[in-house]
Structure 1
Amino acid sequence: MSDSNQNLLLAFPTGALVISDRVNITSTLDRPLKFSLIIPTFNEGQNIKEIVTILSGLLDRIIPGEYELIVVDDNSPDLTWELACELIPTYPQLQVMRRTTERGLSTAVIRGWQAARGEVLGVIDADLQHPPEILLQLWGEIVKGAELSVASRNVEGGGVSEWSVVRRFLSRGAQMLGLAILPEVIGRLSDPMSGYFMVRRSAIANKTLSPVGYKILIEVAARGQIRWIAETGYVFRERVAGASKVTWKQYVEYIQHLVRLRFSLWPVTRFLRFGVVGFSGVFVDLGVFYLLRTLLGIGLTRSTILSSEVAILNNFLWNDVWTFGDMSRGQQGNRKRFRRFIKFNLICLSGLVINTLIVNVLFNAFHINEYIAKLIAIAVVTFWNFWFNLKLSWRVTDTEKDYSSKPKQ
């Protein structure tokens, strides 16, 4: 280990995984930069010189003197960090961080961003499987105004070179699973497992990041304030040197990450309000049913249908004003309110069908007590009604809010 190389190392941050809204200035010689690109490494000694050389050549063409490359190495046995330090005299825009107390690609990227001076933050693998020339197109999208610019294998111009059928299946399966668990995030990304992207510092500043596994894009897209996501196609290359680090463990961690994000992003307050409104609807339903059936003598079926519909109307009005009031205020007008009511009605009616099916299956097929079966069905349908009403009935489609992929010009 060379003492001179040791002295060149960039100190790595500790503590919470939070990106500051201000660039990291550690000396009077430092200054803010336009772009900081993180290259996380572990045993990439065979590739490090080539990737630094190529990236420097590309960025010197578009933003000379306005960028930095930060290699964040997890104390590689092949001394990747030391090999990178030896490149600094030739490439003064290069910095090297050696981590000895932490491991993991995702946290390596965040630690690099914490030490970075760029207004735009990026990440690229060191193994040359991400074609470096795509960096120019990603930067072009940032210049146009995108908050997040992603290299994707699943848009026009994208693909994989020599993946097996099993690996292709796992990749697509991971995306479909993500859509089921976290649709509002995964639905905005054609390649949620991409590890090649740029993001504006301002979009993720002061957000506590909590990544799991070796991919961080989902975390950034979920927790960041990102209106405009731009995607650029690229072909994922096979390794020329070094060993692949993709294992089954990464797919398990991906699922864990999705579940953690789902619960952390779940709108608890809104759900509780929805539950209170639903509880009030039970009393409205029973009260109207008593009025129609007992006092007015209307038939059982008609009384049941009418009382249920009045309860649905009651629930809709309260939800429109209170539970989803912040969303409905962005969709003023009787026509839009009527459309929301029709959607709400259809979702609630489908919930009633699901309720009936669950009770019958649990009671008849699994011989579960009918009252317990009813409670289980109510719980399932409550989540069903809330989630689909949130995503369909009160979804903002007519206003220029953060739901658009690009801002209006």
Structure 2
Amino acid sequence: MIQRQPMSLLPVPTGELQIPEFPPQITSITKENIILSLVIPTYKERDNIHQVVKILSQLLDESIPGQYELIVVDDDSPDRTWEVAQSLTEEYPQLQVMRRKQERGLSSAVIRGWQVARGSILGVIDGDLQHPPEVLTQLLTQIQQGADLAVASRHVEGGGVSSWSVIRRFLSRGAQVLGLIILPRVLGRVSDPMSGYFMVRRNAIAGAILNPVGYKILLEVIGRGNVDEIAEVGYVFCERKEGESKVTWKQYVDYIHHLLRLRLTTGGWRRVSQATGQLEQLSQNIGFPLGRFLRFGLVGLSGVFVDMAILYLLSDPTTLALPLTRSKIIAGEIAIFNNFLWNDAWTFADVSMKQQEWRQRLKRFLKFNLICLAGLILNVLILNLVFNFLIPNRYIANLIAIAVATIWNFWVNLKLSWRVTDVK
């Protein structure tokens, strides 16, 4: 009896995270047309992957035999999940495996899998059995009936969570409310925008350059894709049986970062970004990034409003009535944090995208904080010099001081805070 060898690993796409309009030409496993390409992103799922592949294969063999493919995209797991998955390709010919060594992150893993997928329908499911596989057929039916996007939701009839703590439920709902405030036209279209279990037509997202942060890829699909009709199917989120949970507080920070980036690169803000980008192209001739400086200035203006609002809430006699100095310190620090988030997601997004680890972001924030503190000291010095020796008008002197401090903050942050220094 001849023993079949495991299939070779899929090549890892490079370049922009963009889904091709037409499937790539890959040596076919089957002569049948591929309807569904289901990506399973994994990291340290050695104990789960065999069971996941087995259940999914049995389910899809009944509904669309020979017309689907399973694509495991593993982020070079130390437990060698990719190797276990590759060994299963002999038993499950519809299975393909990709091992990523240079990139990390669930969202980008899904997109890289979709880039090599051959199906007209693209899907994603977790590799830890927390997403009930039987819901797949319902999602597929919704797409076949005309939906551009079919989402498995915990918040419609038939949906729910099995054993979440009160804190986790609160954080999940709080994140959703925050998203509705920042991105109402995106998150308002689905009941469970944080779902990681869905299917989408290839032509609904083909050509769009995706730019995800963290785990919530559905936000990218709705925000940047050409998605008209959306259907939702209820499912109960189950607790994992094997392996360790990957839910951490860092995911919530990434989620907020992702919301801000989408807000600034879609809709009306997108036109602002394009305009400042054109300014930046023109400014290269004079050696000063005007477009980036304009974005920095707009962010600084938002910080002024944050500062004033927090100062009022903390120090006004009708509110908390805290001492003025203490209130100003707290308000200033919150404004600095506000400015950092917006600058990281918008002004210097091209740089921050290359360094997304939490340690790198923290380093940028600390630098930004110190530079802003130095800018405040500079502001006070300029104000006194101009007022005492040049223009005896406190308001004009203050405007000049603010202008000088803004240029200082921008230029030093450009050179020190947002620069690529960590390379592999």
- Alpha-carbon spacing, 1:28–1:213, altered in 2? closer, same or farther (3 Å): closer
Q: Deviations over 1:245-266 (max 9, x none)?
A: 0000000000000000001014
Counterpart of 1:198 in 2: which secondary structure?
strand
Measured in 2, the distance between the counterparts of 1:192 and 1:70 equals 23
Matches within 5 A, 1:361-372: none
Aligned residue for 1:83, secondary structure, equals helix
Contact 2:42 2:74 in 1 (8 A): yes
Task: Look up the match of 1:116.
Answer: 117
C-alpha deviations, 1:202-256, integer Å up to 9, x for none? Answer: 0000000000001200110100111111000000001100000000000000000
Q: In structure 1, what is the equivalent of residue 20 of structure 2?
A: 20
Q: Which has the higher contact order (CA 8 A, sep 6+)?
A: 1
Structure 2 letter corresponding to 1:262: R
The 4+ residue runs of structure 1 with deviation greater than 6 A are: 28-31, 269-272, 366-369
Letter in 2 for 1:217: L
Letter in 1 for 2:12: F
Partner SS state of residue 120, structure 2:
strand
Q: Where does residue 77 of structure 1 map in the other structure?
A: 78
Matches within 5 A, 1:256-271: 256-268=257-269
> 162-171 or 260-269: which moved more?
260-269
The CA deviation string for residues 319-350 of structure 1, in whole angstroms up to 9 with x for no partner, is xxxxxxxxxxxxxxxxxxxxxxxxxxxxxxxx
Amino acid at match of 2:9: L
Identity %, equivalent residues: 62
Aligned counterparts of 2:267 and 2:72: Cα–Cα separation in 1:
35
Tell me the residue number matched to 1:188.
189
Secondary structure, aligned partner of 1:267: helix
Match in the other structure for 1:89: 90
Deviation at 1:27, TM superposition (A): 3.2
Q: Specify whether residues 62 and 243 from structure 1 end up closer, same or farther in structure 2 by C-alpha distance, changes over 3 A only.
A: same
Within 5 Å, give how 1:29-48 maps onto structure 2: 32-48=33-49
Aligned partner of 2:101: which letter? T
Deviations 1:76-126 (A, max 9, x none): 111111111111111100000011111111000000000100000000001
- Output the amino acid matched with 1:233: G
Secondary structure in structure 2 of the residue aligned to 1:27: coil
Alignment of 1:131-150 (within 5 A): 131-150=132-151
Greater shift in the superposed pair: 247-256 or 29-38: 29-38
Paired amino acid for 2:136? L
For residues 340-351 of structure 1, the aligned pairs below 5 Å read none
Q: Which residue of 1 aligns with 2:167?
A: 166
Contact 2:43-2:77 at 8 Å conserved across structures: yes
Q: How far, CA to CA, are the matches of 2:145 and 2:259 in structure 1? A: 30
Query: What does residue 200 of structure 1 align with?
Result: 201
Deviation at 1:191, TM superposition (A): 0.6
Unaligned runs of 5+ in 2: 274-307, 318-323, 329-392, 400-424
Distance 1:88 1:184, change over 3 A: same
Paired residue type of 1:265: T
Q: Match for residue 215 of structure 2?
A: 214
Write the letter of the residue equivalent to 1:207. Answer: A
Q: Quick one: which amino acid aligns to residue 66 of structure 1?
A: Q
What residue number does 1:279 align with? Answer: none
Once residues 265 and 103 of structure 1 are traced to their aligned partners in structure 2, the CA distance between those partners, rounded to angstroms, is 25
Shift of 1:267: 1.1
What is the TM-score of this pair, normalised by structure 1? 0.65
Paired residue total? 283
1:224-235 aligned within 5 A:
224-235=225-236
Q: Label 1:254 to 1:28 Cα distance change in 2 as closer, same or farther (>3 A).
A: closer
- Change in CA separation of 1:53 and 1:262 when aligned onto 2, cut-off 3 Å: same
**Structure 1: how far apart are the matches of 2:186 and 2:92?**
38
Distance 1:82 1:75 in 2: 9
Counterpart position of 2:10: 10
Shift of 1:365: 5.5
Q: 1:77 to 1:144 in 2, by over 3 A?
A: same
The 2-side partners of 1:197 and 1:73 are apart by 19
The AA in structure 2 aligned to 1:153 is R
Alignment correspondent of 2:414: none
Q: Which residue of 1 aligns with 2:103?
A: 102
Deviation at 1:269, TM superposition (A): 8.1
Instruction: Check conservation: 2:29, 2:94, Cα contact below 8 A.
Output: no
Contact 2:55 2:133 survives alignment (8 Å): yes
Q: Quick one: which amino acid aligns to residue 219 of structure 1? A: E
Please state how far the C-alpha of 1:268 moved relative to its aligned partner.
4.6
| 2:295 corresponding residue in structure 1 | none
Q: Distance in 2 between matches of 1:202 and 1:269?
A: 22
CA distance in 1, matches of 2:169, 2:147: 29
